Amino acid sequence: MMDTSRGNEDYTLALYEASLDGSVSTLDNLMQRDRLILHKISLTSFTETPLHIAALLGHLQFTNALLRKKPQLVEKVDSSGRTALHLACAEGHTQVVKALLQANMDMCLVSDQEGRIPLHLAAMRGHVEVIKELLIARPRSISGVNLYGDNVLHLCVRYNCLDALKLLVESVNDEDFVNSKDNDGNSMLHLAVMLGQMKTIEYLLSIPEVKRKANAKNRIGNMTALDVSETCHRDFKYLKIQDILKAAGVRRSNDLNSPLLPASHDEEPQSAQPIIEEQPALSRFRKWWRYFYLCRWVKHLRRHGNWIDETRGTLMLVATVIATVTFQAGINPPGGVWQQDSKNGTVAAGTAIFQSPDSDTFQYQYFLYSNTTSFVAAISVLLVVISGFPVGNKFFIWLLTLTMFLAISAMALTYLIALFLLNPTTYFGEDYFQYIFIPVLMAAGAVHIIRLLFWIGKLLLKFIRWLITKCPAEDAINV
């Protein structure tokens, strides 16, 4: 008997080469030589079929020829569990996708080893036309999820495919679906904030169904989208994202259950709380505080909007400038340095001129003290801000601002001492120091202290209100 195994192997290799080139004539020639060649594909060591290769490369005519000769190839999967439809959808070959769907529409629901159906791959690559064909063929495929709990909407956000996301959201009218969460409890809004997708965030918040549940919390850290934004890298983009979220009514998780904050119109109604009649002491205290609170000079101490975020960015910028200036002043002191050793050996090259025995060393030491104080204070603020330490607390921002206040004051004092060192005979900085700098310094410090007292007063008011409302409630329960 003639051994035809070598010839069959050559035919198979030629078949795969034809699928790479999309040559229908070569396929017809091979079929004439061996009519069973397409049936012998499963006996080879190749994980993909010629249909996989043709669909991946977008060879429409070759795909149609294979489907006419053996339609069952559309059901074959590769080593990753993907059909030819998976590959065609991932590459966006719309006409090939149509041909495969005509052969078997149920392939829309086949999942690969990661639980992804063809619609998922099309959404990940943003192929809008392919998505339309898949939804027409099997509309219910839109509800499929992968192994990580991501549905097609989550994948559009993860891979930043906004046009595909808009198409899918408009094609479904289901509030629960657009607010669905992955295995970590993250909604589309959570994912968009994590990935810093500003346009996607603005689009999602324009959807009424999403905005109504914008304060939903995930399962990792029990965080809202605003909480997530504050854990990301602290750059100007995320500060802008926080502004967008706050403008849409998104709040921190700690603020959602606070009785002292106004309820958002977009939130679901909370359970009714027992209403306790206000006590006379609370009314008198509230009237006094309201008068104090409405005073014009107190209003100027209040900050609205994203004061913490703006202050944090300003502190970082000012601290960088101060650190740079004081560093240069430290290594390039006023008067310069000696270029060579003195003849008597009392001064070494590179030593500051004002450090020499013949100079006013006392004043130069004051210059070094004030310059170093300003440098260390600015560097401390920079290290805290860029280290990722949570600085969302008002009191913590107040401490950082106080440190920068110290750095600026020390830098101003450094400037005045440097003027005296360079112009000892015509020095006029003492009058500026006494009559201008010290009063301005005291005024700025007073405003800073008053703002702290103002915050403490607000906290005391909340505490007193809590005590007054809690005690009658406990008495009523005991009765």
DSSP characters for 386-407?
HTT----SHHHHHHHHHHHHHH
CA–CA separation, 62 and 51 (whole Å): 8
Helix (H, G, I), strand (E, B) or coil at 52: helix
Cβ atoms within 10 Å of 317's Cβ, excluding its own: 10
First vs last C-alpha separation in the chain: 104
Query: Digits of tens for pLDDT over the chain (479 positions)?
Result: 334 444 566 788 899 999 999 999 999 999 999 888 898 888 888 889 999 999 999 999 999 999 999 999 999 999 999 999 999 999 999 999 999 999 999 999 999 999 999 999 999 999 999 999 999 999 999 999 999 899 999 999 999 999 999 999 998 888 899 999 999 899 999 999 999 999 999 999 999 999 999 999 998 778 999 888 888 766 778 888 888 998 998 988 887 765 444 444 444 444 334 433 444 444 555 545 444 444 444 444 444 444 455 666 677 788 888 888 888 887 777 767 666 666 565 666 667 666 665 555 667 777 888 888 888 888 888 887 776 655 555 666 777 777 887 888 888 888 777 777 777 666 555 556 655 666 777 777 777 677 767 777 777 777 777 777 655 545 444 44
**Whether the model pTM is above 0.75:** no
pLDDT of residue 4: 45
CA–CA separation, 476 and 71 (whole Å): 78
* H or E, element range at 477: helix 438-478
Among residues 194, 106, 206, 137, which one has the least CA distance to residue 165?
A: 206
pLDDT of residue 398: 72
pLDDT of residue 392: 55
CA-based torsion, 220, 226, 230, 232: positive or negative = positive
Residue 371 makes CB contacts below 8 A (sequence gap 6+) with: 326, 329, 330, 410, 411, 414
CA–CA separation, 208 and 214 (whole Å): 10
Look up residue 127 and give its two tokens. 């192929």
Among residues 110, 170, 189, which one has the least CA distance to residue 146?
A: 110
pLDDT of residue 375: 87
Query: CB–CB of 108/85 below 8 Å?
Result: yes
CA–CA separation, 374 and 283 (whole Å): 48
Cβ atoms within 10 Å of 111's Cβ, excluding its own: 19
CATH topology for the 1-171 domain? 1.25.40
Among residues 92, 150, 91, 139, which one has the least CA distance to residue 116?
A: 150
pLDDT of residue 394: 64
CATH class of 173-256: mainly alpha
